[in-house]
Amino acid sequence: MNNRMCEMFGIEAPIFAFTHCRDVLVEVSKAGGLGVLGTSRLTPQKLREELKWIDAHIGGRPYGIDVLMPSSFENLEGEQKFDTQAMHPREHAYLTKVLDEAGVGRLPEADEAALLRDAVHSVSFIPNDTRELIEIAFEHPISVFVSALGTPAKEIVDRAHARGIKVAALAGAPKHALKHKEAGCDFVIAVGTEAGGHTGNITSMVLWPRIVDAVAPLPVLGAGGVARGRQVAAALALGCEGVWCGSVWLSTAQSDVLPELKAKLFAAPSEDAVLTKSVTGKQCRTLRNVYTDAMTRPGAPATLPPPLQAILWWGHGIPRVNRSRIAAGLTTAVGQIVGDMTEELSVRQVFHDMLSELIEAKDRMDRQMS
């Protein structure tokens, strides 16, 4: 393919992969797309290791990083980060009760504190943390820097540009996309409500062309519900110049999600990708589990503001759930496309299938219009 996104990064197809898994990232970039690493679960030390590994394995292909920079947050300093239990006993007690009742084992007392500390440390949701991650990434040959949840600060955009790094940001509404454009972003990612992870309420079908028109002539990637070539064709037809996918990579052979979670994803219908604030404090499309269900019941506590809800779930819920591996507890951010994810394929196969179905879709449209 040949359009502005391909030219911007020297890639063969404008297929961008959001992933937390370095193996997926490398495979997508090697297949001719562009892999972007989510840093929201990484400590600075772990990010250094991941980027070093990527640089050694990606064969000079372009890649990027994605950083959570929420516009509203509670800034927490040092040890205060770990005190959510004392600060919010009712919310902790509710989570503990829900997991206990579902048979999700408690953590062994001996290593509970260390496990919690590790988990909490890697919840990088606040400016103090994300700044450090950005500085580390700037020491590596990244091609693109993506800001999730908010418009990147002008100073960061300028520093990225000075290093030849392109900047983009996710938007769930045209007004957010316009702010990204004003901040100097090189392209915008329009995220429809069907997407996995943080998302707004407007469907891809309605949102993509609106954002394309709002930020023109800036290029736009369509995100939310893209896993197949027909959806890539739809994005191009609606004026996007490429796609940004997250959920589909979870089901690939290279993905590092637990095998039990992968099995749950393969069995899940689209309806199980629910909108909830219970995993981060912000609306996030997530695979249903006992906690997302319990948080909708009458009498459930309200969710805490970010990053406190994320610390509660990622620090106190996820370590238990991932240790016990009980299906009712397992969860991940995932979009409605989960209903189409029924078997494990390699990243390269997914990529290849997307492109061949795109060509078929184009031929079908050409036939209908001639």
Ligand X SMILES: Cc1cc2nc3c(=O)[nH]c(=O)nc-3n(C[C@H](O)[C@H](O)[C@H](O)COP(=O)(O)O)c2cc1C
Contacting positions for ligand X (CB under 6 A): 18, 38, 40, 66, 68, 148, 170, 191, 194-197, 223-226, 244-248, 250, 332-335, 337
* CB-nearer residue toward ligand X: 94 or 187: 187
CB 116 within 8 A of CB 311: no
* CB-nearer residue toward ligand X: 88 or 143: 143
CB of 133 to ligand X, least distance (A): 12
CB 171 within 8 A of CB 211: yes
* CB-nearer residue toward ligand X: 88 or 317: 317
CB of 334 to ligand X, least distance (A): 5
CB of 138 to ligand X, least distance (A): 18
CB of 196 to ligand X, least distance (A): 3
CB of 235 to ligand X, least distance (A): 11
CB of 89 to ligand X, least distance (A): 28
* CB-nearer residue toward ligand X: 35 or 319: 35
CB of 267 to ligand X, least distance (A): 17
SS (H, E, C) the chain: CCCHHHHHHCCCCCEEEEECCHHHHHHHHHHCCEEEEECCCCCHHHHHHHHHHHHHHCCCCCEEEEEECCCCCCCCCHHHHHCHHHHCHHHHHHHHHHHHHCCCCCCCHHHHHHHHHHHHHCCCCCHHHHHHHHHHHHCCCCCEEEEECCCCCHHHHHHHHHCCCEEEEEECCHHHHHHHHHCCCCEEEEECCCCCEECCCCCHHHHHHHHHHHHCCCCEEEECCCCCHHHHHHHHHCCCCCEEECHHHHHECCCCCCHHHHHHHHHCCHHHEEEECCCCCCCEEEECCHHHHHCCCCCCCCCCCCCHHHHHHHHHHHHHHHHHCCCCCCCCECCHHHHHCCCCECHHHHHHHHHHHHHHHHHHHHHHHC
CB of 280 to ligand X, least distance (A): 9
Residue nearest to ligand X (CB): 246
Separation between Cα atoms, residue 281 and residue 300, nearest integer Å: 14
CB of 144 to ligand X, least distance (A): 12
* CB-nearer residue toward ligand X: 33 or 38: 38
Which two structure tokens, joined as six digits, stand for 182? Answer: 């004003």
* CB-nearer residue toward ligand X: 98 or 133: 133
* CB-nearer residue toward ligand X: 31 or 333: 333
**Overall size of the chain counted in residues:** 370
* CB-nearer residue toward ligand X: 96 or 203: 203
* CB-nearer residue toward ligand X: 88 or 174: 174
